[in-house]
Structure 1
Amino acid sequence: MLQMVVTGLLCGALLGFVMQRGRFCLTGGFRDMYIAKDNRMFYALLIAIAVQSIGVFALIQFGLIEFSAGAFSWVATIIGSFIFGIGIVFAGGCATGTWYRAGEGLLGSWIALFGYMFMSAVMRTGVLAPIDQSMKSVQFATNSIAETTGISVWVFIIVFVGIVLWVIIRELKKPKVAIPAMKPKRSGLSHLLFEKRWHPFFTAVLVGLIAILAWPLSEATGRMYGLGITTPSANILQYLVTSDMKFVNWGVFLVLGIFLGSFIAAKASKEFRFRMPDAKTGITSFIGGNLMGFGASLAGGCSIGNGLVMTAMMTWQGWISLLFIILGTWTSSYFVFIRPYAKKKNAVVAEKTVIT
């Protein structure tokens, strides 16, 4: 039990610290791909996937950890991922982003987090569990891309890493936008950790390394998986309601550690403060959290469980889920950001035409 608490909290705190300082927000990244045509955060995700894939399959190769891709519940993955993508825009952050932003004192994220935990629990052991199980029963027997094609997983990893390296080099060669440099208020390690802006690619490497670390630490306690947010989040609420210790595992301390690590990073960088949302934002955040919980439970993972981990494991579930999370984010962004802006712009133009 002590090992579970210590290693889970430590791994989660590292992840929360890095994500908070590096502003590793996949919701903003997916949204910016569509609205701002900025792909940097998506490229950062690909880096984290590549780093983790190399490390985890090396551990598997040496017999240090075990992994089974299982079956592929394709209908549940597609529908759930799309709904999850819609939800993260309303919630203002993905599953991990909601945890680390809650650690910054953003009360809207607390509201979204409760909705996320609540609906995840309802989908797993509540009244919606039969729907969840029924949709997941429609599946293909093989989830592993390597097993389906009969090609070694290392071929896919090498090709993927090559593509990622090409993308990185191409991106780094682009002319940099000059940003006025502010005089540092700190020096040395303190400046690097808590003041200097972290490059998303550097942050991604750290996230990938932490994702590798999560596998042996988790499996040492009997939980045969790496980073995961949805099930542990549901487990916290289920434990609080039932006091049943079966819901307490390494993943629970991982997500609590994310909150702790983000809080430490935010306090040390003077970015922590309680921020109360207005009523409309609070309601929207709660709705978004519920959509996140429903979608992630149905899809078998969130932007971390599917978008970072199952992609690194070269599974159909991971890559198809990532695609539909992005599509869901873009769809939601259109109705939340693009369409209202277009209507407002057209109204202003119409008003000016009437005046003239």
Structure 2
Amino acid sequence: VGEGNLAYLLAVFGFFFGIVITKFGFLKPVYEALISQAVWVGEEEIPTLYNIIGVNKWIVIAVISAVFLFFVFQGKPFQKARKGYSWAVAGLLVGIIAVVAFWASGYYTGRARGLSFTGPLRELFLAVFFSDSQVSASESRTLLGVTFSWSALYVLTVPIGAYISGKLLKEVKLKVPPADELLKVFFGGTVMGIGAQIGGGCNIGHSLTGVSTLAVSSWVANFFIIAGNWTMAYWLLIRPMKDLDV
């Protein structure tokens, strides 16, 4: 969005639309039926990799980190990128931001939420359209009669940061894709919003934040996010190319 691509803006609106029809609209009965099911370890513990295995969490963290670092170093992470930051450096910076987000949200609101987009995006649009993010008073601030949550403000600043980065790299340019592509993007955003609301988060909340807390739900969600990406990449990109070869 910050780089001027209209398709991404429509995807954001579609994402919000999917969230709303799932949490408040005609899909609400399906949503409530699905989230009423829960899995616990013992009587109170939310399933994590370490309490399921029954070992100290730092042992699990050390093993997973070693595996990930092995693959990271296979990709020459310190090699200078042709433009901007390398993936390794960018990933490290995002990780630092994620840690700061845990601290900042906990310090200013009393609830450490970490990075996410599903709930915060919903709260942002509710604040813009209805002047209320619908979160507790301790997690919100009122400005000019509009009540924003901390996370809603964080989502609002992401396009600003993307715009600044795009300007520095000279990549900001207004892009208007064809109408059929815009409809496809909006529909895709809507499906993502439905899945994110039912799944309790998106690829940011689950892949960046949830996976780092070793939550089993986030690892499962991340597996199916990747599977969904691969499936659609095959049907939309790879399969049409194979048909052309024939």
Q: Does 1:143 align with 2:47?
A: yes
Whether contact under 8 Å (1:121, 1:238) holds in the other structure is no
Question: Greater relative contact order: 1 or 2 (C-alpha under 8 angstroms, separation 6 or more)?
Answer: 1
Residues 1:266 and 2:177 aligned together: no
Distance 2:74 2:163 in 1: 35
Say which of 227, 230, 235 aligns to 2:123. Answer: 235
Match of 1:197 among 84, 98, 104: 84
Equivalents in 2 of 1:303, 1:282: separation in Å?
22
Q: How does 1:213-252 map to 2 (within 5 A)?
A: 213-220=100-107, 221-247=109-135, 248-252=148-152
- Partner residue of 1:26? none
Instruction: Tell me the TM-score normalized by structure 2.
Output: 0.86
- The answer to whether structure 1 residue 324 and structure 2 residue 224 are counterparts is yes
Give the equivalent residue in structure 2 for 1:172: 76
Q: How does 1:252-331 map to 2 (within 5 A)?
A: 252-331=152-231
Is 1:120–1:293's contact at 8 Å kept on the other side of the alignment? yes
* CA distance in structure 2 between the partners assigned to 1:313 and 1:143 by the alignment: 11
| CA distance in 1: counterparts of 2:133 and 2:9, whole angstroms | 24
Contact (CA 8 Å) 1:121, 1:235: kept in 2 or not? no
Indicate how the Cα distance of structure 1 residues 269 and 172 shifts in structure 2: closer, same or farther if over 3 A, else same.
closer
In 1, Cα distance between the equivalents of 2:111 and 2:101? 10
Higher helix share: 1
Instruction: State percent identity of aligned pairs.
Output: 30
Within the candidate set 149, 152, 156, 2:56 is matched to 152
**C-alpha separation in 2, matches of 1:158 and 1:311:** 14
> Which 10-residue stretch deviates more, 123-132 or 274-283?
123-132
Q: 1:120, 1:233 within 8 Å by CA — same for their partners in 2?
A: no
Q: CA offsets, 1:264-314, max 9 Å, x none? A: 111232211111110111000100110110011111111110111111000
Contact 2:126 2:134 in 1 (8 A): no
d(CA) in 2 for partners of 1:214, 1:117: 22
- Following superposition, the deviation at residue 245 of structure 1 comes to 4.6
Shift of residue 330, structure 1, vs aligned partner: 0.7
Write the distance in 2 (CA, Å) between the matches of 1:272 and 1:231. 28
Note the residue ranges of structure 1 that are not aligned, 5 or more in a row: 1-101, 182-195, 347-356
Contact 1:223 1:250 (8 Å CA) reproduced: no
Q: Which residue type is aligned with residue 52 of structure 2? A: T
For 2:97, which of 201, 205, 210 is the aligned residue?
210
Contact 1:223 1:249 in 2 (8 A): no
8 Å contact from structure 2 (residues 19, 193) kept in 1: yes
Q: Distance in 2 between matches of 1:105 and 1:208?
A: 26
Q: Deviations over 1:296-354 (max 9, x none)?
A: 111111111011111100011111111111110011011101111111111xxxxxxxx
Output the CA distance in 1 between the equivalents of 2:228 and 2:187: 15
Cα distance 1:212–1:338, how it changes in 2: closer, same or farther (>3 A)?
A: same
Matched residues, number: 226
Structure 2 stretches lacking a partner, 5+ long: 41-45, 136-147
In the TM superposition, residue 238 of structure 1 has moved relative to its aligned partner by 2.0
Specify the code of the residue in structure 2 equivalent to 1:123. T
RMSD between superposed Cα atoms in Å: 1.8
**Deviation readout 1:208-263 (Å, 9 max, x if unpaired):** 11100000101122333100101111112222332225353111011111111011
In structure 2, the partner of 1:55 is none
Query: What secondary structure, in the 3-state scheme, does the structure 1 residue paired with 2:116 have?
Result: coil
Q: Which runs of 4+ in 1 moved over 3 A?
A: none
TM-score w.r.t. length of structure 1: 0.60
Who is 2:8 aligned against? 109
Question: Is the 8 Å Cα contact of residues 112 and 288 (structure 1) preserved in structure 2?
Answer: yes
